[in-house]
């Protein structure tokens, strides 16, 4: 099975610039994961809550650090997930574009 979470919008502290450390900014997360459904399911609300909590609580300086931290949290808290793709976007940091970083990960069985 595949779960798609699209355009999850939240506000958090993320970035290395002085103003990014003082004020929250919009972040958009797109997340897709695969798992083997065998009478156990993954509640997509649990995924959304994990993504939001991790981003808000940790106040990351880099999107790359956020992605690595989320990998650890997903593995620990959502063990049914076999693989996932995540994209984190800062839509308002530059006036003429949206900046994103993405990563794909497969967990070893």
Q: Which CATH class is domain 2-106?
A: alpha beta
What is the reported pLDDT for 109?
57
Distance CA 17, CA 14 (A): 9
Residue 95's pLDDT band (cuts 50, 70, 90): very high
Average pLDDT over residues 13-29: 96
Q: Write down the mean pLDDT value for the chain.
A: 96
Take residue 100 and report the two structure tokens written for it.
């994103």
What is the reported pLDDT for 108?
78
Express each pLDDT in 27-58 by its tens digit.
Answer: 999 999 999 999 999 999 999 999 999 999 99
Q: What is the pTM of this model?
A: 0.94
The H or E element containing residue 38 is: none
What is the edge-to-edge ordering of all strands in the sheet holding 2-12?
Answer: 2-12, 25-35, 81-94, 97-106
């Amino acid at each position: 099975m595949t779960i798609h979470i699209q355009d999850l919008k939240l506000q958090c502290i993320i970035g290395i610039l002085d103003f990014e450390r003082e004020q929250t900014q919009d972040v958009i997360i797109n997340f897709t994961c695969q798992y083997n459904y065998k009478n156990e399911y993954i509640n997509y609300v649990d995924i959304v809550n994990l993504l939001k909590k991790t981003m808000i609580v940790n106040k990351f300086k880099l999107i790359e650090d956020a992605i690595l931290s989320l990998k650890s949290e997903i593995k620990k808290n959502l063990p049914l997930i076999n693989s996932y793709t995540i994209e984190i976007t800062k839509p308002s940091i530059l006036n003429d574009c949206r900046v994103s970083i993405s990563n794909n990960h497969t967990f070893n069985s």
